[in-house]
Chains A and B, each alone.
Chain A
Amino acid sequence: MASEKKEIAALLSKYQEEILDAWHRQLIVRSNSLMEIIGLTEAKSFTQGILEHFITLFPLAETENDENKSYREIDDLFSDLSGKMTSQNISPSEIAVFIFSMKEAVFPILQKYIDNKDLSGAIISAGRLIDRFAVNTFEIYLNTREKIISEQQRAFMEISVPVVRVWHRIIMIPLIGMLDSERTQLMMEVMLTALEDTQSKVAILDISGIPVVDTLVARHLITAASAAKLMGAECIITGVRSRIAQTLVQLGVDLGDVVTRTTMSDGLQLALELTGQKIGE
């Protein structure tokens, strides 16, 4: 069987050009949109690489797997292919068609040059390897997708903390999303630096954009307020809605000396008073 497989591999290698031509014709017919996006030249480099690996891998026993160097190489090739296609929003089914259409290029060659008695065996083995290629690309496609998702998640978590200078010696920091320790660290740094740079006396932290105010958020707010106090500045927390107030009371959180207001405008009013300023009437 092994020697037969070698013969088949030699046969495929001999008719490589013919197979590639047939494959490209298939691609143009069956996945026109994909070819339009990646272009024939690029498609050719992939088909050629895949066929070369196919010929190398075909004579190997099927039990021999991922340890093999050729398998790793083809994994790289597939991840390149999948990565390119994922970034261009090509659907996984189109990628699958790309691989499966190889069958229609390889099988006719086998039919043409292999005796009837060996033909079914050869087709089964070739089909199995192509299936395996397709499964590989699909796995790699999924991995690429997952990587993109987790990167986006990270980017989303890192939305920076903006500082708004609302008035002379008054800064405002709108807080949004989840206040985890990293974000809080960033918020503290940004706030303290801004207090120093602008010589501000009041920092307004607006928590309207924080969906859930739990004990962790409360602790962070208390810490921020006491840090501001050390710099001789006052911290006003705005955006404390009634349901948040009730929840905090039930939680048993004591915001103690932290000054809070329901709305931003109340907070600003207080800030103006604290800095001895007035908006002209």
Chain B
Amino acid sequence: MKKTENNKNPSRAEVWEQEISIYEDIILARQKVKVMMQEMGFSVLAQTRIVTAVSELARNIVIHAGGKGRMSVCEVSKTGKRGGLKCIFEDRGPGIENIEKAMQSGFSTSNSLGLGLSGAKKLCNEFYIESFLGKGTTVTIIEWLP
């Protein structure tokens, strides 16, 4: 996955970034995403879904990557038609050994429900995960306006 955006509309390519290191950062990340989605005109249900996914993914950075990561949020557009919101979660944690296993419902290396990653995937339109052992993990989610 390339970090550069293939954004067709450069005027909307404003990227908002935030370090995710402590629990309070999760709150800030959620609030930022919520406000952006409100401005873009997403439904309350979509807002709730995506903010919940953001909460899961941001917390993964705090818990599993030792708070060494960041979230970036930007608006994207699909060949000029529909607008959408893209959130990228990058961390410099240990990486995931077995992504397939990590994506299974109920699998957890901490004492959690094990639904964070799999749940986040179900909550948004598009979900991409990439991980390198010893280097870190990148999760990208996109939600399109209806």
Contacts and interface: CB of A to CB of B under 8 A. Distances in A.
Interface of A: 153, 157, 178, 180, 211-216, 218-219, 242-244, 246-247, 250-253
22 contacts: A153-B24, A178-B27, A212-B51, A212-B55, A213-B52, A214-B52, A214-B59, A214-B116, A215-B112, A215-B116, A243-B44, A243-B45, A243-B48, A246-B48, A246-B49, A247-B52, A250-B123, A251-B56, A251-B115, A251-B119, A252-B115, A253-B115
Q: Is the contact region of chain B dominated by helix, strand, or loop, or is it mixed?
A: helix
Contacts of B49: 243, 246-247, 250
Nearest to B54: A212
Contacts of A215: 56, 112-113, 115-116, 119
Interface string B44-80: 1100110110011001000000000000000000000
B23 A251 contact: no
B113 A211 contact: no
B122 A251 contact: yes
Interface residues of B, number: 23
A219 B48 CA distance: 18
Contacts of A219: 112-113
Given A178-B23, A211-B30, A252 B119 contact: yes
B99 to A, nearest CB: 18
B105 interface: yes
B119 A253 contact: yes
B18 interface: no
Contacts of B24: 153, 157
B7 interface: no
A251 B45 contact: no
Contacts of B27: 178
Contacts of B105: 252
A218 B113 contact: yes
Contacts of A251: 52, 56, 115, 119, 122-123
B36 to A, nearest CB: 15
